[in-house]
Amino acid sequence: MLVLPKGLRHIPGHLDRAAQERLVDAIRGVVAQAPFYRPEMPRTGKPLSVRMTNCGELGWVTDRAGYRYQPHHPVTGEPWPPIPDMLMDLWREFCPEARPPQACLVNFYDVTAKMGLHQDRDEQDLTAPVLSVSLGDACLFRIGGTERGQPTRSFRLESGDIVVLGGPSRLLFHGVDRIYPTTSALLRDGGRINLTLRRVTA
Ligand code: MD3
Ligand code: FE
């Protein structure tokens, strides 16, 4: 039996293929207004392998100056486009107690991209849950404890899966170790998109 950390809900295959296609279309609309860009590590400026954009009143960005939320795209200077209705509906369904999300980070992984173990703690409101939607190729997701170096567990996230991180799971270390190429035909050129909806301000 797979035991998940308290406060972590994994809903495999919540979105059927038609819903995934509608969501990809909505994200294509977002990306047309706010193109993917290559974020950089704080201080070093080393590029991340994941490409990013956002929708919502605030977007998470990282560059030499550090990690932060800001209301405009770092390359175009334009405000982020609104969060698509489908995602607002998922938030109301899975996070009915929470105030509305302010940010939706859109991560794009080509088949070589990964994301190292990290904590999400750039939000002022750490009591609000994070809701994640996976689209496209499957990945190997890893989740640990609240301290670096604690044991980790790995599981696969597939297209259409939803993960809700609330309560005690909100500050767990987590990352994406690898993408499994050609495991989904949703995105014509392969790769994986992950959407994370968040409340940012207290
Ligand atoms: C566990 N994204 O954007 S989503 C991130 O697949 C991020 O792109 C990963 O980590 C991705 O920050 C994982 C699932 C997720 C999101 C937030 C979490 C897991 C989490 C916050 C706390 C614990
Ligand atoms: Fe994260």
Structurally, the chain folds into a number of domains equal to 1
Domain-embedded: residue 137: yes
Centre of ligand 2 to C-alpha 176, Å, is 9
- Distance (Å, whole) CA 83 – CA 23: 11
Domain-embedded: residue 126: yes
Take atom 7 of ligand 1 and give the residue whose Cα is closest: 175
Domain-embedded: residue 2: no
Tens digit of pLDDT for each residue in 143-184? 999 999 999 999 999 999 999 999 999 999 999 999 999 999
The single residue listed with the structure tokens 């950390």 is: 5
Tens digit of pLDDT for each residue in 5-49? 789 999 999 999 999 999 999 999 999 999 999 999 999 999 999
Domain-embedded: residue 63: yes
Domain-embedded: residue 1: no
Looking up residue 39, the CATH number of its domain turns out to be 2.60.120.590
Domain-embedded: residue 106: yes
CB environment 33-57: b (16+ within 10 A), e (fewer) = ebebeebbeeeeeeebebbbbbbbb
Provide the residue range defining the domain that includes 81.
8-198
